[in-house]
Copies of this chain bind each other. A is one copy, B any other.
């Protein structure tokens, strides 16, 4: 438990509050706020849950960020905001209104959780399990079951990228490119458009591998982290990508989310 004297940004949701928290975290990156706690309440169904939360925020100082779709609960937040003089931010309201006004459509106004354990959800969960089970070329046969096959040399971020793409519902395998190891024959049988080669600047990879060796307590002078070895591996990888005719994605200086975004644009 945080001490009661910290200010609070409260997330209030009739589902899980992930969306509101994403907006809050992205916003807070723009500030140097200290002594501010993010507090989340989920599955809100009754007005008194809202009252209790907002009274706490009124006492501690702070604001309330909410994703609530049911009209009577939205009304309760607005009323308590005025009564207690607590500032609120409505994350989904303006977007819902814009969709209504643009497309003349009527929202269902069902709390997120009620239709959350759907087909799409189970597809994403299955994709995450698939990515974990098939990380680092563990099962060559999985190449033919995958939606996306990532190739790349060691420490080019294949694993986190696979997981991130899995969250988008894609079944991903990643396979390590090593000059001394013949690439699996299955790569030649894959439907066009599923394979992606990852590239990275040699200097940056030397740094990443040196850090890796350090964290493992190994000497950083190892061949593995030398510029010469890294350049040879990257050159071999490029020639493999060319022979496969696959797109090459440069991950240098890119966040995983950004690389994933680039790959998803192919689908």
Contacts and interface: CB of A to CB of B under 8 A. Distances in A.
Interface string A49-74: 00000000000011101010100000
A189 interface: no
A231 to B, nearest CB: 23
A11 B73 CA distance: 28
Interface residues of A, number: 71
Interface stretch (A155-163, A180-188, A191-199, A234-242): A155-163
Number of copies: 2
A258 B113 contact: yes
Contact of A99 (B22, B63, B95, B132): B63
A92 B256 contact: no
Contacts of A29: 112, 115
A92 B95 CA distance: 12
Given A89-B94, A128-B160, 18 more contacts: A19-B23, A22-B22, A23-B92, A23-B95, A24-B95, A26-B67, A29-B112, A30-B69, A30-B92, A33-B99, A33-B103, A36-B103, A42-B261, A61-B102, A63-B102, A87-B102, A125-B160, A128-B163
